[in-house]
Amino acid sequence: MLTDIRLKDEKTIVGLMSGTSADGIDAVLVQMKGTGVGATITVRAQETLKYTAAVRAKILRCQGPSTTARDITLLDAYLGELFAHAVVHVCRSAGVPIAEVDLVGSHGQTIYHHPHPEKMPGYAVTGSLQVGNAAVIAERTGITVVSGFRSRDMAAGGQGAPLAPILDYTLYHHASRGRIVINIGGIANMTTLPAGAEQDGVHAFDTGPGNCLIDMAMEKFTDGRMQCDKDGLWASAGTVDDALLKRLLDHPFLTEKPPKSLDKDTFGPAFLGGLLTEFSDRQPKDTVATLTAFTVKSLTAAIMEFALQTARYEEIIVSGGGILNPSIMEGLRDGFPKLILSTTDEYGLPGKAKEAVLMAFLANEAVMGSPGNIPSATGAGRPVVLGSITPGQRVLELLRKKK
Amino acid sequence: MLTDIRLKDEKTIVGLMSGTSADGIDAVLVQMKGTGVGATITVRAQETLKYTAAVRAKILRCQGPSTTARDITLLDAYLGELFAHAVVHVCRSAGVPIAEVDLVGSHGQTIYHHPHPEKMPGYAVTGSLQVGNAAVIAERTGITVVSGFRSRDMAAGGQGAPLAPILDYTLYHHASRGRIVINIGGIANMTTLPAGAEQDGVHAFDTGPGNCLIDMAMEKFTDGRMQCDKDGLWASAGTVDDALLKRLLDHPFLTEKPPKSLDKDTFGPAFLGGLLTEFSDRQPKDTVATLTAFTVKSLTAAIMEFALQTARYEEIIVSGGGILNPSIMEGLRDGFPKLILSTTDEYGLPGKAKEAVLMAFLANEAVMGSPGNIPSATGAGRPVVLGSITPGQRVLELLRKKK
């Protein structure tokens, strides 16, 4: 029962994330004490369950405004099954019986995100559609599931993103040290945590591409044999092409004032395709080196412009797949010799697990009735409780009730 | 907070229903004590908020398998706004301050229902898609919302319908009197409650058309000036046409064994259109009389065949718009002279309010952790808690937390 879960001093929570790149399901199992700013989180297991090529293709086909109700309904139920499987899997990997898990937080797979108000009779509306049915997860696992985290922030006038800042704030805000938290996934984003700041002093926005351009280029150059520039080897073997880099750095997104966010397409396949055609005489390794430099330069420019100019910062904490690329990390280190550069791993949070941990964190906040958004990051009118709670129900509970 | 709500001896709950005919939003405000079989429900206000022609047209266009993600996402948010408005409206009509409402139960508007298992890699899935975003309702009203009642039953192997039997059982089951509960909406359905039966002795299924054929015919014959046969006047003025009635009674659905359910199309516009073309020489009033007789005959046949043959029944309790049609009620009375014919109104439940009351009832069950489905009616593998809970959050609660 929900009341029992709320009263527990420590909870065992599974977090599930499936990003728009549809590579697979990131699952974590964490122990969590407390709530909000007072929360502590320990990651006990982390797993990535890759989608099969067929499932990935199906998901990619189902992203976008014109996907049909039939596809949405069936994919909703189907991903619910796969997410339930991921819960079972990460529990096994942690050596935790599934009956000991208190909550699952599941982001779902985004089908369509519409953050800009659309006029309809009497109301202007926004919305975000994720699939991966919570009732299916709850029924297969018996665990209470929290899902649909973006809708409430949007109902309160926000863009439903970014959601990570509350976790960044909880884990890394510091009374006397200013910190910048960066996540380098497909897209790169940052959260600023000035020393001693309250939640309303937190800002967050996308800075530009993370690994997306590099990954797509690698896949193209190797005919699909490599999906990323492992250990940044191509980048370090190549030479940055000044003309190509200049072209990239001229992208208008870089000078837009935050809050700002990128959609899937801005630095998507079409953008890269046009670029590779125009600069087709470059060596592949030089191109990869240049795309890597672009990720670094857009990050350092954003840090310079939108963080260091307004407050003092002592540390940059990095998470996401980008931490595995030494070319990116060295670029950041060179850019800010006076700042400490660390990774969330050093703070006990595996960089790749961050978004799944966020889902576990938000599940706890929902059940405890604590707000999960930071209005200065999403644009919402107020802090609101995020997500809907689908009650778990174990067979044993039912038997007890019957008696 | 949810815990506070659970502990209340008596709850104030708003129930919202919007059927597939998309006429409008049925809203009730009820007082509810207890849970499950021990529950008592008092209806304090009942309102129907008609959709404007434009909104109705939009909803009807959005029903079906090929509606797009964009339309679904925007209609989800938009109907959330209208549902929130309906909550405010029914509270005002009851003279109850909105801050005194503990829960909203909202069915949502069905876009697509897929009850038959669809094979996908590794799993066969079913699903049901309703819109009318719960987070929007919760954010506008501050009230905790329970929604998405069908998914969990389907995750447990059921068809996600019918959901009414648990309310029928709760309100009308009797230790020594066998009762048949009939709802005559667009479609007619029945729930059998043998004397002294446990929940697993309850059966429920659709019997055939309720008012849908009569309403469509009236609209056609009057060029839209009349939407129904008010007080059954056309039916009583006309004469039943034996050939047409025979044709109708030959419909294979009538002899199918229960459990069985009708989709929107079986007795839809195409069916009626074909019939009216074939029998175009009949007088409109005779046709309406015959369609009315068909509703009565298919109901009485189902009662004879699938209820009276298997158990003893003393009473038929009717709800739904059909109770306003004397031709239907007289037909039922004539069919079963030995049974008492009553309406849910006589038991304190306005017939038109029943489905909205069901939503209020199911919201309470979800929050109390009690199952809301009856497996013998839906086909589910076990009784499960239905719905997802979206926490309400009043501005005052937030202020209290901040301190």
For the segment B332-340, the average pLDDT, to the nearest whole number, is 96
B7: Cβ contacts below 8 Å, ≥ 6 apart: none
A346: Cβ contacts below 8 Å, ≥ 6 apart: none
Mark yes or no for CB contact B74/A125 under 8 Å.
Answer: yes
B positions 49-88 inside 8 Å of A (CB):
52, 54-55, 64-70, 72-74, 76-78, 80-81
Q: Which residue of B has its CA nearest to A381?
A: B139
- A188's tokens: 């790169």
A51: Cβ contacts below 8 Å, ≥ 6 apart: A22, A23, A24, A25, A59, A82
Which position has the token pair 């599941």?
Answer: A106
pLDDT score recorded for residue B402: 47
Band (A395; pLDDT cuts 50, 70, 90): low
* Same fold: A2-164+354-402 with A172-352: yes
pLDDT score recorded for residue A402: 46
Asked if the model's pLDDT at residue B395 lies above 70, the reply is no
Q: Which residue of B has its CA nearest to A397?
A: B369
Mark yes or no for CB contact B121/A147 under 8 Å.
Answer: no
Asked if the model's pLDDT at residue B243 lies above 50, the reply is yes
Mark yes or no for CB contact B152/A138 under 8 Å.
Answer: yes
- A19's tokens: 């990003």
A positions 156-175 inside 8 Å of B (CB):
156
Within 10 angstroms of residue B368's Cβ, the number of other Cβ atoms is 17
B positions 107-146 inside 8 Å of A (CB):
111-112, 114, 118, 120-123, 125-129, 133-136, 138-140
Band (B397; pLDDT cuts 50, 70, 90): low
- Per-residue pLDDT tens for B91-143? 999 999 999 999 999 999 999 999 999 999 999 999 999 999 999 999 999 99
Q: Which residues of B touch A80 (CB under 8 A)?
A: 125, 155
Mark yes or no for CB contact B388/A147 under 8 Å.
Answer: yes
Mark yes or no for CB contact B112/A64 under 8 Å.
Answer: no
Mark yes or no for CB contact A66/B68 under 8 Å.
Answer: yes
Nearest beta carbon to residue B81 from set A123, A387, A391: A123
Contact A154, A128 (CB under 8 A): yes
Contact A145, A92 (CB under 8 A): no
Instruction: Please report, for residues B195, B241, B289, B303, B323, the alpha-carbon distance to residue B326 in angstroms, rounded to integers and kept in the order given.
Output: 28, 19, 12, 19, 7
Using the Cβ of B3 and the Cβ atoms of chain A, whether some distance falls under 8 Å is answered with yes
Asked if the model's pLDDT at residue A129 lies above 70, the reply is yes
For the segment A66-73, the average pLDDT, to the nearest whole number, is 98
How near does any CA of chain B get to the CA of A123, in Å? Answer: 7
Q: Which residues of B touch A122 (CB under 8 A)?
A: 81
A284 prior amide bond cis, ω within 30? no
pLDDT score recorded for residue A20: 84
User: Is ipTM over 0.90?
Assistant: yes
- Report the predicted TM-score, pTM, of the whole model to 2 decimal places: 0.93
A162 prior amide bond cis, ω within 30? yes
Nearest beta carbon to residue A66 from set B54, B70, B133: B70
Lowest mean pLDDT among A254-268, B41-55, B313-327: A254-268
Which has the closest alpha carbon to B46: B263, B359, B393? Answer: B359
Lowest mean pLDDT among A20-34, A283-297, B170-184, B252-266: B252-266
Q: Which residues of A touch B155 (CB under 8 A)?
A: 77, 80, 133, 135-136, 138-140
Exposure of A311 by Cβ count < 10 A (0-12 exposed, 13-18 middle, 19+ buried)? Answer: middle
Give the SS3 label for residue B139. Answer: helix
Asked if the model's pLDDT at residue B394 lies above 80, the reply is no
Using the Cβ of B89 and the Cβ atoms of chain A, whether some distance falls under 8 Å is answered with no
Spell A332-351 as b/e; 16+ CB within 10 A means b: beebbeebebebbeeeebbb
Q: Residue B143 is inside which H or E element, if any?
A: none
B397: Cβ contacts below 8 Å, ≥ 6 apart: A369, B1
* Mean confidence (pLDDT) of chain B: 94
pLDDT score recorded for residue B400: 52
The domain defined by B2-162+353-402 folds into Nucleotidyltransferase; domain 5 (3.30.420)
Q: Please state, in angstroms and rounded to a whole number, the distance separating the CA atoms of residues A214 and A211.
A: 5
Spell A249-280 as b/e; 16+ CB within 10 A means b: eebeebeeebbebbebebbbeebbeebbeeee
Which has the closest alpha carbon to B208: B194, B222, B189? Answer: B189
Band (B259; pLDDT cuts 50, 70, 90): confident
Within 10 angstroms of residue B42's Cβ, the number of other Cβ atoms is 12
Which has the closest alpha carbon to B240: B282, B289, B203? Answer: B289
Q: Which residues of A touch B395 (CB under 8 A)?
A: 382
CATH class of B165-352: alpha beta
pLDDT score recorded for residue B328: 97
Q: Which residues of A touch B393 (CB under 8 A)?
A: 369, 371, 384-385
DSSP state of A61: H
Interface residue of B72, B114, B365 to substitute, partner A, most A CBs within 10 Å? B72
Q: Which one is the CATH code of A2-164+354-402: 3.30.420.40, 3.30.70.20, 3.30.200.20, 3.40.50.2300?
A: 3.30.420.40
Give the SS3 label for residue B18. Answer: coil
pLDDT score recorded for residue A328: 97
Asked if the model's pLDDT at residue A324 lies above 60, the reply is yes
Domains of chain A, by residue range, sit at 2-164+354-402, 172-352
For the segment A38-66, the average pLDDT, to the nearest whole number, is 95
- Per-residue pLDDT tens for A187-246? 999 999 999 999 999 999 999 999 999 999 999 999 989 989 999 999 999 999 999 999
**Sign for the pseudo-dihedral over CA of B292, B294, B295, B296:** positive
Q: Which residues of A touch B68 (CB under 8 A)?
A: 65-69
Which has the closest alpha carbon to B365: B166, B232, B223? Answer: B166
Interface residue of B1, B4, B123, B149 to substitute, partner A, most A CBs within 10 Å? B123
DSSP, residue by residue, A265-321: TTTSHHHHHHHHHHTTTS-HHHHHHHHHHHHHHHHHHHHIIIIITTS---EEEEESG
Q: Residue B147 is inside which H or E element, if any?
A: strand B144-147
pLDDT score recorded for residue B403: 43
pLDDT score recorded for residue B95: 98
**Sign for the pseudo-dihedral over CA of B392, A124, B51, B273:** negative
Asked if the model's pLDDT at residue A108 lies above 50, the reply is yes
Give the SS3 label for residue A11. Answer: strand
Interface residue of B113, B126, B128, B136 to substitute, partner A, most A CBs within 10 Å? B136
Residue B316: what residue type? I
Mark yes or no for CB contact A1/B369 under 8 Å.
Answer: yes
A positions 361-390 inside 8 Å of B (CB):
366, 369-371, 382-385, 387-390
CATH class of A172-352: alpha beta
Band (B30; pLDDT cuts 50, 70, 90): very high
Within 10 angstroms of residue B242's Cβ, the number of other Cβ atoms is 10
Highest mean pLDDT among B16-20, B232-236, B257-261: B232-236
Interface residue of B393, B398, B402 to substitute, partner A, most A CBs within 10 Å? B393
Q: Which residues of A touch B50 (CB under 8 A)?
A: none
pLDDT score recorded for residue A403: 43
Asked if the model's pLDDT at residue A110 lies above 90, the reply is yes
For the segment B231-240, the average pLDDT, to the nearest whole number, is 97
